[in-house]
């Protein structure tokens, strides 16, 4: 059977928001709850947001160098493999080999952290690097209470065109050049990451913010099937 996730890379979060050896960011893709973080060397990590020990959300934990530590009992899991490496209550005991966090492929490209939910993917296709033109600036992430198809149809009505390779939508909002990256978070929840050539703090950037809010209102006002 063909893996439905094999060719799908999701732009889950702006890369700059996930710092090396520091914070843990919550994310979603196709209903899958994710814990996003970076090891001390900066390698992007995207894990199922559930500790395999007691199912506590890993986003409540902390990053310790190249390991993620659960907030409940402090069990630690290695970056890359998700393998349990340390149990504080039993420091002399070797961690069980069958205790492992569920790890997804994650890469940085075009200023975004992309995640693939397939279990056999290790590298992103080169087309992701061109999803956002070089030198463009991140504007905002628009949270839309509607399915991804409704958002696609709204962008098409605005004159946006999709790049088949990266899935990026290119067009203008209120005459401001814009790239939109869609993330299907849940069946009726879509995140739209907006990028633009307009400089931060410029009048064009402010115009785009206002146009994005109107776009969201228009989409959410449409009847949902």
- Measured CA angle at 11 (ends 100, 113), to 5 deg: 60
C-alpha 23/C-alpha 53 separation (Å) is 21
C-alpha 52/C-alpha 173 separation (Å) is 44
pLDDT of residue 192: 97
C-alpha 88/C-alpha 95 separation (Å) is 10
pLDDT of residue 56: 93
Sign (positive/negative) of CA torsion 47, 104, 32, 145?
positive
pLDDT of residue 164: 85
At residue 1 the predicted structure's pLDDT band, cuts being 50, 70 and 90, is very low
Q: Is the pLDDT of residue 153 over 80?
A: yes
Query: Tens digit of pLDDT for each residue in 14-26?
Result: 999 999 888 999 9
Query: Tens digit of pLDDT for each residue in 129-149?
Result: 899 999 999 999 999 999 999
Whole-number Cα distances in Å, 85 to 66, 67, 94, 158, 211: 11, 8, 8, 51, 49
Sign (positive/negative) of CA torsion 18, 48, 28, 112?
positive
Place of tokens 């196709």: 30
Query: Tens digit of pLDDT for each residue in 25-78?
Result: 999 999 999 999 999 999 999 999 999 988 899 999 999 989 999 988 889 999
Query: Tens digit of pLDDT for each residue in 186-216?
Result: 999 999 999 999 999 999 999 999 999 999 9
Q: Is the pLDDT of residue 219 over 90?
A: yes
pLDDT: which is higher, 212 or 91: 212
3-state class of 127 per DSSP?
A: helix
pLDDT of residue 124: 66
In the chain, the domains with their CATH numbers are: 10-128 (2.102.10.10), 131-221 (3.30.160)
């Amino acid at each position: 059977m063909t893996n439905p996730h094999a060719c799908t890379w999701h732009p889950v979060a702006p890369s700059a928001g996930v710092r090396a050896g520091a914070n843990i960011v919550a994310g979603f893709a196709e209903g899958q709850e994710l814990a996003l973080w970076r090891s001390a060397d900066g390698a992007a990590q995207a894990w199922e947001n559930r500790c395999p020990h007691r199912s506590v959300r890993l986003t409540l934990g902390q990053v310790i160098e190249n390991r993620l530590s659960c907030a409940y009992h402090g069990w630690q899991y290695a970056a890359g493999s998700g393998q349990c490496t340390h149990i504080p209550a039993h420091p002399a005991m070797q961690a069980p080999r069958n205790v492992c966090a569920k790890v997804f492929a994650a890469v940085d490209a075009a200023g975004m952290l992309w995640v693939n939910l397939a279990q056999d993917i290790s590298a992103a296709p080169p087309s992701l690097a061109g999803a956002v033109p070089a030198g463009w600036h991140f504007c905002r992430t628009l949270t839309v209470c509607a399915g991804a198809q409704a958002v696609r149809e709204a962008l098409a009505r605005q004159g946006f065109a999709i790049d088949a390779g990266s899935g990026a939508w290119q067009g203008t909002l209120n005459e401001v050049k814009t790239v939109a990256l869609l993330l299907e978070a849940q069946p009726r929840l879509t995140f739209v990451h907006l990028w633009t050539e307009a400089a931060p703090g410029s009048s064009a950037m402010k115009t785009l913010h206002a146009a994005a809010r109107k776009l969201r209102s228009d989409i959410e006002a449409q009847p949902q099937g």
